[in-house]
Amino acid sequence: MGAQLARLLPMACVTVNSVAVLRGLSLYGSLPADAMVPMKFGIFGEVKWSASKPWFFIYPGVCLMLGLMPFYNNSAQVPQWVTHPEIYKAIMDAAADAVGLTTGAFMLLVMEQLPLIARHDQSGLLPDYLTMSYLALLFGSLASAAVAAHQLA
């Protein structure tokens, strides 16, 4: 099962982020000409600050970068305490793909709501717990990778 997950996670990361890039580019046209695009959100999804319309391209740009991440061959040094470097590398690759997938999905959900927020039809991200859920998933992915690396590698 772990080997299948190791193959599915990078494909899911690339797929979700590719969809997010395409969707983001298509949503740009639906923004009002004088739109202020939210750039920072609070823990409950409230807009902290906004920037002008061209800054919207940050969102699909981040997704493009995340979508290409599985193709990047990271040859970072393995820490000295690691006794099984191949297991350590597999765990770190899975963690990176999980972060890319989670962040890409979050960015897609945010981009879907940006036109509504820019038109003032919506005051922040919905549901209110979206940002908190993303941060919890991110922390859980990284914490479980750290525990797995210490226990298995």
pLDDT interval class at 148 (50, 70, 90): very high
Distance between CA atoms of 50 and 25, rounded to whole angstroms?
A: 19
The reported pLDDT for the residue numbered 130 is: 95
pLDDT interval class at 79 (50, 70, 90): confident
- Percentages of the chain per state (helix, strand, coil), in multiples of 5: 65, 10, 25
At position 121, the amino acid (one-letter code) is: D
The reported pLDDT for the residue numbered 75 is: 72
52 strand-pairing partners: 36
pLDDT by residue (tens digit) across 93-117?
A: 889 999 999 999 999 999 999 999 9
Percentage of the chain lying above the pLDDT 90 cut: 74
Residue with tokens 């890319």: 100
The reported pLDDT for the residue numbered 3 is: 64
Residue (of 145, 66, 61) closest to 101 by Cα position: 66
